């Protein structure tokens, strides 16, 4: 077969499936249905079949959407984050589960250099990711980041490919950070390849990639099936990092402000439900079903993370579990975290660093919507800004992000430019 056969085949399948989904969405009633004091109750919400979709699945299956007046919610399952991007830019989706970097990436013009203002008012998950390498690396003595660097130096004549799910995903940003902290240039020492999450294990088994960074259950599954091992969990790279967020277009948020608050409330309640260990078995069964992750229930792990391992070594490494909710305001969107994401997108040349970065962060990060939703639910909204601390100990100063960028050793030449968010564009759904 031609070396690009599988890539071209995947592109064709994606295009055909996307056209089918768009036709289905257009066939449904698209005019806003006003009800219960909300501007719109008929919502199309995108998600991917991963464990982190739990809040959306639970909000749908346990009635939290209906409880808050959103009684015509349709969850649109996409196979890749590219489908979410297309749905948001095309106006076919009202809202979506997104990697935590995607609202900023879209707002800064990461998609075709066309800024699309997208906002987030809710962090739905934290952690739950890991870095997996093929089992053969472990057998050849690669058990740590320093071992991996030595191996790459010994095998310079070989091409080593690492899979990530999207340039704006925390998987990509943390994998790049992890590699660079170990003296490995993620753009010249390895090849980074964008792959849908559910395809990671298949490609690892097939040998088309040597490793990947992805959310669960795909790290755990590779370990259970013996095709890979976890060389680092995100608990070891950045404990408590934002994973998946709720994203909506800025023009949508302005058109449907009460609906936005109701949506945030429904998902915040669902996050709280997901965090209760008493509900774990029920949630696992829901997620394993064909409507959501469509996998064997043994790969959906929500209980005590120390009881399971995705590592070949001893003592076994703690499983990279998701955090859905806690009293410490982990669901609150963080401006500091969005500034860090902004620096990493600029670091690797995905977007310029905006000269008007203060304005951009304020527009992307909708703390007021979260606070209103939490207050109406009777939840504690007190918050203390926490410093960002990654595994290498390098301090991050959110008050001077450009100085932080300049101090990074491994990076691309980055540009600083004002990003204009108010250009005319197609209106939201």
Does 203 lie in the same domain as 117?
Answer: no
Helix (H, G, I), strand (E, B) or coil at 348: coil
Last residue of a domain, one of 225, 240, 255: 240
Q: Tell me the pLDDT tens digit for each residue of 224-277.
A: 889 999 999 888 899 899 999 999 999 999 999 999 999 999 999 999 999 999
The count of other CB atoms within 10 Å of the CB of residue 418 is 11
Q: Tell me the pLDDT tens digit for each residue of 166-216.
A: 999 999 999 999 999 999 999 999 999 999 988 999 999 999 999 999 988
pLDDT at 99: 97
Does 133 lie in the same domain as 111?
Answer: no
Whole-number Å distance between alpha carbons of 363 and 385:
19
Phi, psi values for residue 153, rounded to 5° = -65, -35
Beta strands in 313-357 (DSSP E): 322-323, 353-354
pLDDT at 5: 53
More confident residue, 414 or 18: 414
220 touches 299 (CB < 8 A): yes
Q: Tell me the pLDDT tens digit for each residue of 97-149.
A: 999 999 999 999 999 999 999 999 999 999 989 999 999 999 999 999 999 99
**Interval 394-423 mean pLDDT:** 94
Residue 277: DSSP 8-state: G
**Entry pTM:** 0.90
Q: Tell me the pLDDT tens digit for each residue of 61-74.
A: 999 999 999 999 99
Whole-number Å distance between alpha carbons of 188 and 334:
32
Handedness of CA 389, 365, 166, 265 (dihedral sign): positive
Identify whether 320 is part of a domain. no
Does 170 lie in the same domain as 39?
Answer: no
Q: Which domain holds residue 399?
A: 5-127+241-291+326-417
Identify whether 304 is part of a domain. no
Q: Is the predicted pLDDT of residue 30 greater than 70, yes or no?
A: no
Number of domains the chain is built from: 2
Average pLDDT, the chain: 90
371 touches 331 (CB < 8 A): no
pLDDT at 327: 75
Residue 29: DSSP 8-state: -
What's the CATH number where 214 sits? 3.40.190.10
**Interval 378-396 mean pLDDT:** 88
Does 34 lie in the same domain as 122?
Answer: yes
Identify whether 306 is part of a domain. no
Polymer length of the chain: 429
Instruction: Residue 345: name the closest of 132, 204, 177 by CA.
Output: 177
Does 153 lie in the same domain as 183?
Answer: yes
Does 151 lie in the same domain as 80?
Answer: no
Does 136 lie in the same domain as 118?
Answer: no
Instruction: Residue 287: name the closest of 62, 121, 96 by CA.
Output: 62
Confidence of residue 380 (pLDDT cuts 50, 70, 90): confident
Confidence of residue 21 (pLDDT cuts 50, 70, 90): low
412 touches 348 (CB < 8 A): yes
Q: Is the predicted pLDDT of residue 222 greater than 50, yes or no?
A: yes
pLDDT at 3: 46
């Amino acid at each position: 077969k031609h070396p690009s056969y599988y890539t071209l085949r995947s592109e064709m399948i994606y295009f055909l499936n996307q056209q089918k989904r768009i036709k289905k969405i257009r066939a449904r009633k698209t005019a806003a249905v006003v009800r219960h004091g909300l501007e719109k109750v008929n919502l199309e919400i995108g998600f991917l079949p991963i464990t982190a979709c739990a809040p959306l699945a639970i909000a749908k299956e346990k009635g939290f959407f209906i409880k808050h007046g959103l009684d015509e919610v349709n969850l649109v399952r996409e196979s890749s984050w590219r489908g979410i991007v297309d749905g948001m830019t095309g106006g076919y989706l009202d809202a979506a589960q997104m990697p935590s970097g995607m609202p900023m990436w879209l707002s800064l013009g990461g998609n075709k250099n066309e800024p699309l203002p997208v906002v987030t008012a809710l962090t739905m998950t934290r952690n739950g990711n890991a870095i997996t390498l093929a089992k053969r690396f472990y057998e050849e003595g690669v058990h740590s980041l320093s071992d991996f660097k030595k191996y790459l130096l010994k095998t310079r004549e070989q091409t080593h490919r690492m899979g990530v799910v999207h340039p704006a995903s925390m998987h990509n940003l943390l994998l790049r950070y992890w590699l660079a902290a170990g003296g490995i240039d993620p753009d010249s020492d390895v090849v980074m390849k964008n792959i849908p999450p559910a395809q990671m294990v298949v490609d690892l088994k097939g040998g088309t990639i040597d490793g990947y960074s992805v959310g669960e259950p795909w790290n755990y599954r590779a370990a259970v099936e013996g095709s890979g091992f976890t060389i680092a969990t995100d608990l070891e790279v950045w404990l408590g990092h934002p994973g998946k967020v709720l994203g909506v277009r800025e023009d949508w948020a302005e058109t449907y402000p009460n609906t936005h608050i109701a949506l945030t409330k429904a998902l915040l309640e669902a996050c709280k439900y997901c965090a209760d260990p008493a509900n774990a078995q029920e949630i696992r069964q829901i997620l394993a079903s064909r409507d959501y992750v469509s996998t064997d229930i043994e790969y959906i792990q929500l209980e005590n993370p120390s009881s399971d391992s995705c590592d070949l070594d001893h003592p076994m490494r703690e499983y990279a579990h998701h955090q859905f909710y806690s009293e410490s305001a982990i669901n609150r969107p963080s401006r500091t975290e969005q500034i860090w994401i902004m620096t990493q997108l600029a670091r690797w040349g995905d977007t310029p660093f905006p000269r008007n970065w203060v304005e951009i962060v304020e527009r992307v990060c909708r703390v007021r919507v979260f606070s209103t939703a939490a207050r109406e639910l009777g939840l504690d909204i007190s918050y203390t800004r926490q410093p960002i601390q990654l595994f290498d100990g390098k301090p991050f100063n959110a008050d001077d992000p450009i100085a932080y960028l300049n101090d990074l050793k491994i990076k691309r030449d980055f540009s600083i430019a004002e990003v204009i968010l108010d250009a005319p564009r197609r209106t939201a759904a």
